[in-house]
Amino acid sequence: MRISNLEIYCQVIEEESISKVARKNFITQPAVTKQIRQLENVYGTTLFKRDKGSLVPTKGGRQLYKIFKRIVFEYNQSFTVIDELIGEEDSSLKLGSSFTIGEYLLPAILGDFKKIYPDVDINLEVGSTPRVLQSLQENEIGIALVEGAVEEGDYFKVKKFAEDELILVCSPDHALANTKHAINVEDLIGRKLIGREKNSGTRMFIEQIFKTHGVPEDITVYMEFGSTQAIKGAVEANLGIAILSEIVVRTELKNGSLVKVPIKDLTFNRDLWIVQRKDRFIHAIEKKFIDFLFSKQL
């Protein structure tokens, strides 16, 4: 039994298709099937079954997947450890971040980092917090930078690297723009609130703050967008109001295309987190990036 057998097995589980795995590895389908059969012979049990054309792992197959995934991970880690010990440092930095951080905070930080370490190869995956954490768990990235609550548990190590405040903004042509004092939260009832989709970290954070402070359920999202940039554009066009990260609207507040509207006795403060796997070897370039990130005092 070779590591390559275990890698192929894990891929079949993840892709749910022998043909996809064959194409991915530039081998034939019978070659993939043969490797699965070899593993079934070793363990003396069937590891897959066909269900309406889909390849479904048996209970034993699912258990072996967890073990094989770990073995493959540790095997690859061993090369990383030795490479760095003998001075062959990996210069690739694989990051994942949620939309707000990746689109508005990281570009300038990565630009400054690249000036210090010009040979580093940076790969940034931007997505929802759950998707980024999944990529971290599957070892597709080495560092995740996300907003919202992240459970550390047995798997992740989590550390705060910055704070963020969400604020209510509107167009300078909106009625709320002329408000001289902080509005009451009840003043939002009936307003056209524009927000992100329901599974968005920002959307869930806002709804949790509303719930904690007993905000009336009459305050609901009138229009949903999958892009923060689209929300800003809609608010600038005076289609409604929005609660957005201060990081996201700094330019618009400065040039006057958006106006901040304070809400009395209600703030939206959240922490930004750097997340890593506890069981993963930290590359030298990753440590340098983390040290650099904390030196920025965001």
pLDDT, tens digit, for every residue of 185-244?
888 888 898 988 877 778 888 888 888 877 767 677 889 898 899 999 999 999 999 999
pLDDT of residue 213: 78
Look at residues 38, 60, 85 and tell me which one is the last residue of a structural domain.
Answer: 85
Residues 158 and 291 in one domain: yes
In sequence order, which residues have a C-beta less than 8 Å from that of residue 156 and are 6 or more positions away? 133, 136, 150, 275, 276, 277, 278
Q: Are 118 and 237 in a shared domain?
A: no
Clarify whether residues 152 and 109 are in a common domain: yes
| Token pair 């043969």 in the structure block, residue | 34
Pair (106, 81) in one structural domain: no
Are 248 and 223 within one domain?
yes
Q: Domain with 158 in it: what CATH number? A: 3.40.190.10
User: Residue 212: which domain range?
Assistant: 163-268
CATH of the domain at 13: 1.10.10.10
In the chain, the number of structural domains is 3
Alpha helices in the chain (DSSP H): 3-15, 18-25, 29-43, 59-85, 99-100, 106-116, 129-137, 201-212, 228-236, 250-255, 284-295
- Residues 129 and 258 reside in one and the same domain: no
Residues 263 and 178 in one domain: yes
Region 60-75: mean pLDDT is 88
Residue corresponding to tokens 């703050």: 209
pLDDT above 80 for 153: no
Q: How far apart are CA 167 and CA 191, in angstroms?
A: 16
- Whole-angstrom distance, CA of residue 39 vs CA of residue 73: 19
Q: What CA–CA distance (Å, rounded) separates 275 from 157?
A: 6
* pLDDT of 241: 94
- What band does 105 get if pLDDT is binned at 50, 70 and 90? very high
| pLDDT tens, position by position, 71-103 | 888 888 788 777 766 766 668 899 999 988 999
Q: Does residue 139 or residue 111 have the better pLDDT?
A: 111
d(CA 243, CA 260): 10
Same domain, 168 and 237: yes
Please state, in angstroms and rounded to a whole number, the distance separating the CA atoms of residues 76 and 71.
9
Shared-domain flag, residues 230 and 289: no
Question: How big is the chain, counted in residues?
Answer: 298
Task: Indicate the residue among 85, 118, 146 that finishes a domain.
Answer: 85
Per-residue model confidence (pLDDT) at position 88: 63
Is the same domain home to 170 and 151?
Answer: no
Are 182 and 254 within one domain? yes
186 & 258 share domain = yes
Q: Which of 85, 100, 122 is the last residue of a domain?
A: 85
Are 238 and 259 contacting, i.e. CB atoms less than 8 angstroms apart?
A: no
